[in-house]
Amino acid sequence: MAEGEFGGQKGSEVRPQGGQVYNSNLIIALYLKNHYIYNWYILGLFLGRPEKDYHIKEFLMTVSDIKHAGIKAWVEECVKMCEPDNVVVVDGSTAEYDRLMKKCVDAGLATPLKAKENCFLFRSLPSDVARVESRTFISSKKEEDAGPTNHWIDPVELKATMKGLYTGCMHGRTMYVIPFCMGPLGSPIAKYGIELTDSEYVVLNMDIMTRAGEKVWQYVGTDGDWVPCLHSVGKPLNNGETDGGIWPCADVEHKYISQFPEEHLIWSYGSGYGGNALLGKKCFALRIATVIAREEGWLAEHMLILKLTNPKGEVKYVTGAFPSACGKTNLAMLIPTIPGWKVETVGDDIAWMKFGKDGRLYAINPEAGFFGVAPGTSAESNKNALISAEKNTIYTNCALTEDGDVWWEGIGYPAKGKLVDWKGNTRDALPKDKSPKGEEFAHPNARFTAPAKQCPCIASDWESPEGVPISAILFGGRRPSTVPLVHQARSWNHGVFLGSIVGSEITAASTINAAEVGKIRRDPFAILPFCGYNMGDYFQHWIDVGAKADQDKLPKIFYVNWFRKDENNKDLPGGFMWPGYGDNSRVLAWIFDRCDGVDNAVDTPIGLMPKDGALNTDGLADYYKKTLPEILKVDVEGWKKEVKDIRENHYPKFGKHLPKELTAILDDLEARLNKA
Ligand code: SAT
Ligand code: MN
């Protein structure tokens, strides 16, 4: 629907629900919280127009008002199957957000936080605290197209099972129709979706995480492209039954997070949490978008986007893919320790990259908010994330303090008095900001959902419709040994190779199986659980994208490792040989200059590495200066083992889908190591 299609300017006529004409003063007062209408009202006063001209119309849109025949038919079909008590088309207004949040508070599902403006805390059930990879399916027609790294069920079988679950699943609930846009509205890179959900929590989160609401209709028009996303918490209510303040969801065996790649279709059932339920995020912006990107020749990636400015005021944009627990959000919001440099955030999780007319690769952040992990976020590790989540934020599974604030492990200070933990139990706080494993007050995957525009270091051009031109792509993982602080790929395909071998070493902290410790859990391109098709074909797609491009205009590719360890060196905090956090700006500065072709690198068997003295170490603690040569050299024996592991354990998984270009790079690496 085009803006203003009902005649006149939007918000210029009073037509409340039910058709009665209210006194416009009353309506204006009722909608003071709706900034859009409020602005019109203020403008009117400013222009001195008589108040009676301000007839405000609330367009309570219904399904029958949907002008896009495909969307309308799909919504009607889902209504018939799910049998909700009501259907509401989400308008995305502040008034609607407040109304739905109040509904959650009244139902005992959300707690307003006295200490934070317009912030609320939700607690989920222990069976619904994170994405469930074992219940996530790529339901392509052929199993081979889902590949060796995805769970697969035949689409005919899966649809039959899920239709059985969906039938009548919204009894006692409202179905919300959320029109949303991934990316800046109207951007040539943006894509549109419709999520149907029976969860108010999902509507509220989608409001923050995407551009959602009535503004979207004009972009989908009457026949535009869109991705259907059906979601239910999977907990129908009997007559008069309520949730009784308990987070609604289904048990684990009945959770299904399903992607049908050939149809660009998402069906999710049984979970209300994060990426299982906010379908714009991992399901659409990654799993389905990777499929669309392959069809259309662009890249949908699990990458942060940052804007880097040097002391001369020159700007470059960098994307980066890191497996979870490698500090991706922290890097996106980094505060440099080297003078004159600035990092600003464009995105912290997902990048969609397309070639511009000038032949360069441009990226947008398809999201509008941060769904960040709370535990470990402190003024020291990520002050900017804390400030982003100071107001208008939804907290999930954090602990509640006596003064109505949130608390979590690693927040940087101990809590006082009593805390209500994420399970709703009141316990005495500990005199430290850590808790024994399993006894955490905040769930380790507790989250904040905060509007990106509240981030103090958000880049002014983060919503640029054409995207930002990318100069460098980073890959990284937690590698206590072997992988140096930074090295640069010799070519695009060498960079694809580096992306394909991304992984983190399994430590005693991340496994209960002692035999696994020291092995590398590979997470190619950090996209393993988010790739909507065969990972081998995904590698090939990256190679094909590079082959078609002007080589000089392609971003340079780097592998970074902030996590080298020397447990025997007692000077090093945590045994880490590199300080990380703000000091990673030193590496970013070297990368910046590399993109300009500065003579600051040496060729090594594994790629290009900093020349002696090329990395800025001013102000770095002496014990780090001492360990630096060790993390800037090639560990030839370690890399030979790496090659063996890739050849024997990693690459064979992809069988005939493994691009021959990658085997050639592996052979070349081995030959160079043998000569070293
Ligand atoms: O729950 S999300 O998928 O959005 C976040 C994550 O697990 O990476
Ligand atoms: Mn992520």
401/502 Cα distance (integer angstroms): 39
Nearest-angstrom CA–CA distance, 223 and 226: 9
User: Residue 494 — φ and ψ, nearest 5°?
Assistant: -65, -35
- What pLDDT score was predicted for residue 30? 39
Q: 146-174, pLDDT tens digit by residue?
A: 999 999 999 999 999 999 999 999 999 99
Mean residue pLDDT of the chain comes to: 92
Q: How many whole angstroms from 366 Cα to the centroid of ligand 1?
A: 15
Q: Which atom of ligand 1 is nearest to the CA of 281?
A: 4
The predicted model gives 319-324 an average pLDDT of 95
C-alpha of residue 23 to centroid of ligand 1, in Å:
46
For residue 603, CA distances in Å to 405, 500, 584, 598, 617 come to 52, 21, 22, 14, 21
In the predicted structure, residue 185 carries a pLDDT above the cut 80: yes
Cβ partners under 8 Å of residue 260, min gap 6? 139, 140, 155, 159, 266, 267
Cβ within 8 Å of residue 61, ≥6 positions away: 1, 89, 91, 214
Q: Which ligand is nearest to the CA of 281?
A: 1
Tell how far CA 318 is from the center of its chain: 17
Which ligand does the CA of 271 lie closest to? 1
Task: Judge whether residue 23 has pLDDT over 70.
Answer: no
The best mutation among 131, 202, 527 to test binding of ligand 1, ranked by most ligand atoms within 8 Å of the C-beta, falls on: 131
Amino acid at 179: P
Q: Which two tokens stand for residue 179?
A: 């029109």
**Ligand 1 center–CA 130 separation, angstroms:** 7
Residue from 373, 387, 393, 282 nearest 327 by CA: 373
Ligand 1 is surrounded, with C-beta below 6 A, by: 131, 274-275, 281-282, 324, 371
Ligand 1 atom closest to the CA of 130, numbered from 1: 1
Q: Where does the pLDDT of residue 209 fall: very low under 50, low under 70, confident under 90, or very high at 90 and above?
A: very high
Mean pLDDT within 568-580:
96
- The alpha helices in 24-68, defined as continuous H runs, are 24-30, 35-47
631: Cα within 13 Å, side-chain hemisphere: 26
Task: Report pLDDT for 325.
Answer: 83
> What pLDDT score was predicted for residue 673?
98
Q: What is the pLDDT of residue 60?
A: 83
- Ligand 1 center to 530 CA (angstroms): 10
Burial state string for 302-320 with b = 16 or more CB within 10 A and e = fewer than 16:
bbbbbbbbbeeeebbbbbb
Cα(282) to centroid(ligand 1), Å: 7
Taking the CA of 328 as reference, the closest ligand is: 2
Cα 564 to ligand 1 centre (Å): 26
Residue type, 121: L
pLDDT at 59: 58
Q: What is the pLDDT of residue 35?
A: 42
pLDDT at residue 7 above 50?
no
Catalytic amino acids?
Answer: 326
pLDDT digits (tens, 9 = 90+) for 388-428: 999 999 999 999 999 999 999 999 999 999 999 999 999 99
Q: Which atom of ligand 1 is nearest to the CA of 371?
A: 4
Query: What type of residue is 383?
Result: K
Over residues 346-366, the pLDDT tens digits come to 999 999 999 999 999 999 999
Letter string b/e over residues 596-616, b meaning 16 or more CB atoms within 10 A of that residue's CB? eeeebbeebbbbbbbeeebbb
Segments in 328-432 forming alpha helices (H): 328-332, 379-388
Q: Whose CA is nearest to atom 5 of ligand 1?
A: 275
Which ligand is the nearest neighbour of the Cα of 130?
Answer: 1
pLDDT at 43 over 60: no
Question: Which residue out of 282, 284, 447 has the highest number of ligand 1 atoms within 8 Å of its CB and is therefore the one to mutate?
Answer: 282
**What share of the chain in percent tops pLDDT 90?**
89
Contacts of residue 578, Cβ cutoff 8 Å, sequence gap at least 6:
485, 562, 563, 564, 624, 627, 631
Q: Which two tokens stand for residue 114?
A: 């006295």
Secondary structure string (H, E, C) spanning 96-144: HHHHHHHHHHHCCCEEECCCCCCCEEECCCCCCCCCCHHHEEECCCCHH
User: What is the DSSP track for 163-231?
Assistant: HHHHTTTTTTSEEEEEEEEESSTT-TT-EEEEEEES-HHHHHHHHHHSEESGGGHHHHTTT---EEEEE
Whole-angstrom distance, CA of residue 246 vs CA of residue 434: 27
| C-beta of residue 365 within 8 angstroms of C-beta of residue 211 | no
Backbone torsions φ then ψ of 347, nearest 5 degrees: -160, 160
Mean pLDDT, residues 222-251: 97
Give the model's pLDDT for residue 297: 98
Q: Which ligand is nearest to the CA of 447?
A: 1
Using the mean position of ligand 2's atoms as its centre, give its distance from the Cα of residue 638 in Å.
29
Alpha-carbon distance of 154 to 165, in angstroms, equals: 17
Q: Mapping DSSP to helix (H, G, I), strand (E, B) and coil, where does residue 47 land?
A: helix
- DSSP annotation of 433 reads S
Task: Summarize the confidence of residues 280-309 as an average pLDDT.
Answer: 98
The radius of gyration of the chain from alpha carbons, rounded to an integer in Å, stands at 26
Task: Give the pTM.
Answer: 0.91
Contacting residues for 411 by C-beta, under 8 A, at least 6 apart: 374, 375, 377, 378, 433
pLDDT at 183 over 90: yes
Residue 199 has a pLDDT of 98
Note the pLDDT of residue 517. 85
Do 388 and 450 meet the contact criterion of CB atoms below 8 Å apart? yes
The pLDDT, as a whole number, for residue 518 is 84
Sort strands 394-396 and 120-122 into parallel, antiparallel or unpaired.
parallel
Mean pLDDT across the stretch 436-465?
A: 97
Quick one: pLDDT at residue 9?
Answer: 29
Distance (Å) from CA 606 to ligand 1 centroid: 33
> Among 182, 279, 281, 284, which is best to mutate for testing ligand 1, by the most ligand atoms less than 8 A from CB?
281
Exposed (0-12), middle (13-18) or buried (19+): which is 197, by Cβ within 10 Å?
Answer: buried
Cα of 660 vs centre of ligand 2, distance in Å, is 29
Quote the CA–CA distance of 394 and 113 in Å, as a whole number: 10
Residue 548 contacts residue 297 (beta carbons within 8 Å): yes
Dump pLDDT digits (tens) for 81-115.
Answer: 999 999 999 999 999 999 999 999 999 999 999 99
458-485, pLDDT tens digit by residue?
Answer: 999 999 999 999 999 999 999 999 999 9
The amino acid at 312? K
Is the pLDDT assigned to residue 10 strictly greater than 50?
Answer: no
The type of residue at 361 is L
d(CA 298, CA 291): 10
Q: Helix, strand or coil for residue 588? A: helix
Q: How far is the CA of 281 from the centre of ligand 2 (A)?
A: 9
pLDDT band at 33, cuts 50/70/90? very low
Is 57 a residue whose pLDDT tops 80? no
Q: From CA 389, how far away is CA 374, in angstroms rounded?
A: 10
Atom of ligand 1 at shortest range from CA of 282: 3
1 pLDDT higher than 80: no
Instruction: Express each pLDDT in 494-509 by its tens digit.
Output: 999 999 999 998 877 7
Taking CA atoms only, the protein residue closest to ligand 1 atom 7 is 131
- Phi/psi at 626 (5° precision): -70, -35
- From the number of C-beta atoms within 10 Å of its C-beta (0-12, 13-18, 19+), residue 333 rates as buried
